[in-house]
Amino acid sequence: MFATAMLVSALLSSAGPEVTNPYFPLPPGREWVYREGRQRVEVTVTDRTKRMANGVEARVVRDEVTLKGVPVEITDDYYAQDRRGNVWYLGESTTEYEHGRPVSTEGSFEAGVDGAKAGIAMPAHPKIGMRYRQELYKGHAEDRAKIVSLRERVKVPLRRYRNTLMTLDYNPLEPDILEAKFHARGVGLVLAVDLSGGHDREELVRLRR
């Protein structure tokens, strides 16, 4: 997304845990609840921050996936916003569960450790056609996105939204998977749809501000 490594470094040096990007707001205490098939996904912005290995202080966001109250996956994601308003994704600490017991932490990474780098979760000024890396831990986490619309209408259990930002998300490590995501101003993610032949939909059902 950015022209030089020097510019990336300068922007990251200004980044901090207060995330106010209108398409990706992360005020402490906000909670989103999604439905994905039979699973419940609860995302909560905590009041905690974490000093990352690359020196950036990031906001900790807890993402809990459960099935009938039993954990499937629990993740702490790390975000920060630079002076221009770009939201950076700086890694995650994730644990997968089977029958309620932890079985794997595959996918965990931290920007600044083992060659991992920060990616863009949401640009400051989104434009159609914009492409960007969301994460970069070679061979493990390489999600990318392209903005394809700023005026999509979507309906989810919570309500209807207009003028949502639509991205196509993909990963060269899993070339057969393509996902559409829709972000509403002032809310964040409201819908994610699998476009790879499956029928998975992650839909917003509740928002606590």
Note whether 108 and 93 are within 8 A (CB).
yes
- For residue 180, give its domain range: 5-208
pTM of the model: 0.94
Report the distance separating Cα 157 and Cα 134, nearest Å.
27
Is residue 129 predicted with pLDDT exceeding 90?
Answer: yes
pLDDT tens-digit map of 49-67 = 999 999 999 999 999 999 9
**Nearby residues of 86 by Cβ (< 8 Å), 6 or more positions away:** 11, 21, 120, 122, 123, 124
**Total structural domains in the chain?**
1
pLDDT tens-digit map of 63-98 = 999 999 999 999 999 999 999 999 999 999 999 999
